[in-house]
């Protein structure tokens, strides 16, 4: 089957999906949205960076099943499967720098095993790739045709190259075995259920502001990111999943802002008196990041709908509620 033939087929009916990394931040939102669409969900997670708490509210749903599973070892799911979403991986620098071997294994062996599951079940397969495949980009904004500027032996290489390899493996299954695959390149996503200590800018800034601590901005804060609220990201992912497009497709919000602007906005939203504190810029930290979303708009009719101020407000409110609940339990 050629790629063109695969894209021309009508989108299949999806009744049962497997989500790897389904107890993580993004994975848990995917599980939730799939259930809302009437899709049964088998959530696989080894809880390396995810948590059962993220899916606790789904446990009583008759269509939801949580299974502790490390996809780098073996993957077996009884019964029919229509969709495999491979979202298992450490995704923040603090995690993949602490677990470099695990990150490389889930990008290589985990991708191989989950592709094998999709091929065995004749299921649609969607790989969660990342804007990090573009590295510290020499092209701005980043189009899917851009090959990237990645340092394979730098500290971020374990994540960047794991994802680049997983894209190559996914493409190989499509071209050599006819597996119905899609690749989504996700740009900086944020929202409820992020871990306060996962090292990414938004949860770090929000937690620091709520605690009255200095907000730690790397470098001079001029480096940019394009932040996309989690509901928009999930809509884009599922638009690709329910299609037969191979991708890769960028899913992100072109609303680009500097890290200093982001920190100042969060201080204002929280009403905090926290000052800004500057720390050393991490090695190979990208200077700019903004997706070209033309392909997503044309192929999937997808655009982000949640303005950054609204998404940040929802996120700040969630973190504040978590903080209040923890204080009540402690008191």
Least confident of 66-75, 192-201, 321-330: 321-330
Q: Which two tokens stand for residue 97?
A: 């720098």
Q: pLDDT at position 155, please?
A: 87
- Distance in angstroms (rounded) separating the CA atoms of residues 281 and 278: 9
Using one digit for the tens of pLDDT, what is the confidence trace for 284-325? 778 888 999 999 999 999 999 999 999 999 999 999 999 877
Yes or no: say if 292 and 143 are a contact pair by the CB < 8 Å rule. yes
Q: Where residue 3 falls among pLDDT bands split at 50, 70, 90?
A: very low
* Reported pTM: 0.93
- Distance in angstroms (rounded) separating the CA atoms of residues 309 and 313: 6
Longest dimension (CA), the chain: 62
Q: pLDDT at position 9, please?
A: 44
Yes or no: say if 240 and 179 are a contact pair by the CB < 8 Å rule. no
Q: pLDDT at position 298, please?
A: 96
Q: For residue 44, what are the CA distances in angstroms to 22, 31, 73, 187?
A: 6, 11, 12, 23
Q: Locate tokens 């497009």: which residue? A: 245
Yes or no: say if 234 and 39 are a contact pair by the CB < 8 Å rule. no
Which positions are annotated as active-site residues? 159
Contacts of 274 (CB under 8 A, 6+ apart): 208, 209, 212, 213, 214, 215, 267
Q: pLDDT at position 8, please?
A: 40
Strands 189-190 and 181-186: unpaired
Mean residue pLDDT of the chain comes to 93
- Distance in angstroms (rounded) separating the CA atoms of residues 136 and 151: 9
Q: pLDDT at position 123, please?
A: 98
CA-based nearest residue to 253, from 167, 156, 141:
141
Q: pLDDT at position 323, please?
A: 83
Q: Give me the phi and psi of 236, to 5 degrees please.
A: -65, -45
Residues facing 128 on adjacent strands: 184
CATH number of the domain located at residue range(s) 3-194+228-253+288-305 in this protein: 3.40.50.720
Per-domain residue ranges of the chain: 3-194+228-253+288-305
What mean pLDDT do residues 43-67 have?
Answer: 97
| DSSP reduced 3-state for 100 | helix
């Amino acid at each position: 089957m050629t790629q063109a033939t695969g894209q021309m087929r009508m989108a299949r009916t999806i009744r049962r999906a497997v989500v790897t990394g389904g107890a993580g931040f993004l994975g848990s939102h995917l599980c939730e949205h799939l259930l809302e669409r009437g899709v049964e969900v088998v959530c696989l997670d080894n809880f390396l960076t995810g948590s059962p708490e993220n899916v606790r509210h789904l446990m009583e749903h008759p269509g939801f099943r949580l299974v502790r599973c490390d996809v780098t070892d073996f993957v077996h799911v009884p019964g029919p499967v229509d969709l495999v979403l491979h979202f298992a991986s450490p995704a923040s620098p603090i995690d993949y720098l602490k677990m470099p071997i695990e990150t490389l294994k889930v990008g290589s062996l985990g991708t191989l095993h989950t592709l094998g599951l999709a091929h065995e079940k004749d299921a649609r397969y969607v790989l969660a790739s990342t804007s990090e495949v573009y590295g510290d980009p020499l092209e701005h904004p980043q189009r899917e045709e851009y090959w990237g500027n990645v340092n394979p032996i730098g500290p971020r290489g374990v994540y960047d190259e794991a994802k680049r390899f997983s894209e190559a493996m996914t493409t190989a299954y499509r071209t050599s075995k006819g597996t119905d695959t899609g690749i989504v390149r996700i740009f900086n996503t944020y929202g409820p259920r992020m871990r306060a200590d996962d090292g990414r800018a938004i949860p770090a800034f929000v937690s620091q502001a709520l605690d009255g601590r200095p907000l730690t901005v790397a470098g001079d804060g001029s480096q940019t990111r394009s932040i996309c609220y989690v509901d928009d990201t999930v809509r884009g992912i599922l638009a690709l999943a329910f299609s037969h497009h191979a991708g890769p497709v960028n899913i992100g919000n072109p609303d680009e802002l500097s890290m200093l602007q982001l920190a100042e906005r969060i201080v204002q939203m929280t009403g905090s008196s926290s000052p800004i504190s500057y720390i050393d810029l991490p090695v190979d930290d990208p200077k700019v990041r903004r997706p070209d979303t033309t392909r997503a708009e044309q192929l999937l009719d997808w655009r982000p709908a949640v303005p950054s101020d609204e998404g940040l407000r929802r996120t700040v409110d969630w973190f504040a509620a978590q903080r209040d609940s923890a204080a009540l339990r402690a008191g």
